């Protein structure tokens, strides 16, 4: 049986729509291959994990850990999603 994950290492990941992220990269298989990016915390914000499909990736640049951490601190993803309370209109929707 093959291992469903593959460690790529520390990298800067450039995505479609001119987004840039950095962290520890692993390839995972969940029906399809996905790139898992573990973004380190920076003291203010906690660590984050994001999964990307192959077609969202423009470029992966392997770097050392220090460089990845500095880039990750500069290009942080949204720290969380907050949905407002759902309200209904006059028709009940």
pLDDT of residue 43: 81
What is the helix (H) or strand (E) element at residue 29, kind and residue range?
strand 19-29
Res. 76 pLDDT band, cuts 50 70 90: confident
Please tell me which residue, 6 or 1, carries the higher pLDDT value: 6
- CA 56 – CA 78 distance, rounded (Å): 17
- Nearest CA to 37 among 16, 14, 18? 14
Please tell me which residue, 41 or 66, carries the higher pLDDT value: 66
Domains identified in the chain and CATH numbers: 5-74 (2.30.30)
Res. 3 pLDDT band, cuts 50 70 90: low
């Amino acid at each position: 049986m093959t291992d469903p994950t593959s460690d790529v290492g520390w990298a800067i990941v450039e995505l479609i729509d001119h987004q840039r992220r950095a962290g520890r990269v692993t390839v995972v298989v969940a029906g399809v291959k996905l790139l898992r990016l573990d973004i380190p915390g920076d003291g203010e914000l906690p660590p984050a994990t994001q999964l990307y499909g192959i077609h969202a990736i423009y470029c992966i640049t392997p770097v050392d850990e220090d460089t990845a951490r500095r880039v990750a601190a500069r290009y942080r993803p949204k720290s969380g999603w907050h949905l407002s309370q759902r309200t209904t209109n006059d028709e009940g929707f």
